[in-house]
Amino acid sequence: MTITSGLPADFLYGFATAAAQIEGGGAEEEKASGRGDSIWDRFCEKPGAIVDGSHVNRTCNHLALYKEDIALMKSLGANAYRFSISWPRVIPLGGKDDPVNQKGLDFYNNVIDECLKNGLTPFVTLYHWDLPLALFDRYGGWLDKDSVVPDYTRYAKLCFETFGDRVKHWLTFNEPWCVAVLGHGQAAFAPGHKSNTEPWIVGHSVLIAHANAAKLYINEFKPIQGGSIGITLNGDWAEPFDDTPENIKAAQRKMDFAVGWFADPIYLGAYPQSMKEILGDRLPDFTDEELALLKDSSEFYGCNTYTTNTIKAIRSDDEFAGFTTMAFDKPDGSFIGPKSALGWLRDVPWGLRKLLNYLYSRYEKPIYMTENGWCIGGEGNLRYSYVFNEMKWHRIDGCIDDEGRVQFYRGYTNALKEAIEIDRLDIRSYFGFCDNFEWASGLGPRFGSVHVNYETFERTPKDSAKFLMDFFNKNVAQPKSTSNGH
């Protein structure tokens, strides 16, 4: 077995955010910026929709503090910054014939320029869940493929034209499974619909929108701008509860519904057979033209992942999991990893390595890990790290002690390193987080390596930020120049 030494010299690592999670500094500030409402603005106003009653218009004030944030990322050792563009910030009403907000374009131009000034590669997501509310009111948003695809494609084209001279890494969509299931199936996310038909319609629309925008970039912009484009999908490893054929089959079915729903049409040309069998005519058919568009529409595989589940063939009522039973226990009664603050998340680094091998083998594309993180219970009460010296306590670099997250990152980065060095997988990035608006959970759960005081907007690095950036600075083969944005 040949083992490479170190991560690739052009490996990208840093922090990942989304516009709706970090930009807002308050209702008045957002209004003055010219941003139009998104479906999340309305969802936040629905009683009980957001656990703590917080609002997407007041999160981390990145709109005003982007220079400080980017400088902080640089000081911690990052070489890249993954962020999203807010569709309603640049086209407030969203449509292909609607006016553009120059203030929005100026903001993202400034963010990109600030990244390059600080030697950070900008890694840009076009859609991270904040659909312009006007499009939802106009025709139902992702439920109307024929209307939303041209509107989204025009928005994407505007971004390519405006930012593509400096942005060389594009993601069309972040986690379409969440858009479809959480937004249109379980009513947990905006727009808050509960249905067993809408998710499959929405997923289909997103796939076609992705393909149209990606092919537009590949055919018209890539030859001149020289970047690459793909999609990022969420999906955790599904480990069979045991080695019985029925549990092995159930685990594959769970992977089909979690990952294959979007990845198989893009990379393999069809929906998974298990989905066709379960959903029947609720799963839309692709036209020949759509299949041609989807083919080769993602130049890499964008991977968001957090945990692992054990999967049992015992029938559940969760159609979105292929009617499998998801758990964390093993046949001997033990559990596969330590608990986090959230019931769905456990620390299972070996599952990451299995997932990466599965994705690379099945889809045969380079992998960018675009999101990964850990949530600690009661983190708002975590203490600063102190050292006792000369009869006094001193803060260490102003960092906050988050040992549980350090432990998580230690395991997951080692699994990533093994996947690259031992398994020889082509993995090209890894992104962590800063604290931010956690969607329907509000400002309570904290996944970040940088603490945010939501009253003052003060940022304080945590121990995990230092650990994470030190790990990559030590393991990436050599420093990477990013002054030209590549």
pLDDT tens profile 136-192: 999 999 999 999 999 999 999 999 999 999 999 999 999 999 999 999 999 999 999
CA distance 188 to 180: 11
For residue 40, give the H/E element and its range. helix 39-44
Secondary structure in 3-state letters for 298-349: CCCEEEECCCEEEEECCCCCCHHHCCCEEECECCCCCECCCECCCCCCECCH
Q: What CATH class is the domain 12-475?
A: alpha beta
pLDDT over 80 (residue 380)? no
pLDDT over 70 (residue 381)? no
447-469 burial, b for 16+ CB within 10 Å, e for fewer?
bbbbbbebeebebbbbbbbbbbb
Encoded tokens for 423: 């398994």
CA distance 486 to 478: 16
CA distance 411 to 277: 38
Residue 2: predicted pLDDT: 43
Residue 484: predicted pLDDT: 45
Domain ranges, ordered by start, for the chain = 12-475
Residue 382: predicted pLDDT: 60
Residue 486: predicted pLDDT: 41
Establish whether 371 is a catalytic residue: yes
Q: Report the pLDDT averaged over residues 47-56.
A: 97
Residue 393: predicted pLDDT: 45
Establish whether 175 is a catalytic residue: yes
Report the DSSP beta bridge partners of residue 326. 311
Residue 377: predicted pLDDT: 77
- Choice among 23, 175, 239, 379 that is catalytic: 175
DSSP 140-193: -GGG-HHHHHHHHHHHHHHHHHHHTTT--EEEEEE-HHIIIIIHHTBSSSTT--
% the chain with pLDDT above 90 = 90
CA distance 301 to 465: 25
Encoded tokens for 323: 């009617």
CA distance 459 to 230: 31
Residue 5: predicted pLDDT: 63
- Choice among 114, 290, 371, 438 that is catalytic: 371
pLDDT over 50 (residue 113)? yes
Residue 193: predicted pLDDT: 98
Sequence-distant (6+) residues with CB within 8 A of 254 are 238, 309, 311, 321, 322, 324, 326
Query: How far is residue 430 CA from its own chain's centroid?
Result: 11
pLDDT over 50 (residue 1)? no
Q: pLDDT tens digit string along 402-418? A: 999 999 999 999 999 99
Name the band, by pLDDT with cuts 50, 70 and 90, for residue 6.
Answer: confident
3-state helix vs strand vs coil in the chain, percent to 5: 45, 20, 35
pLDDT over 50 (residue 394)? no
Q: pLDDT tens digit string along 193-247? A: 999 999 999 999 999 999 999 999 999 999 999 999 999 999 999 999 999 999 9
Name the band, by pLDDT with cuts 50, 70 and 90, for residue 283.
Answer: very high
Q: Report the pLDDT averaged over residues 273-281.
A: 98
Q: Report the pLDDT averaged over residues 105-121.
A: 98
Name the band, by pLDDT with cuts 50, 70 and 90, for residue 327.
Answer: very high
| Whether the Cβ atoms of residue 356 and residue 425 lie closer than 8 Å to each other | yes
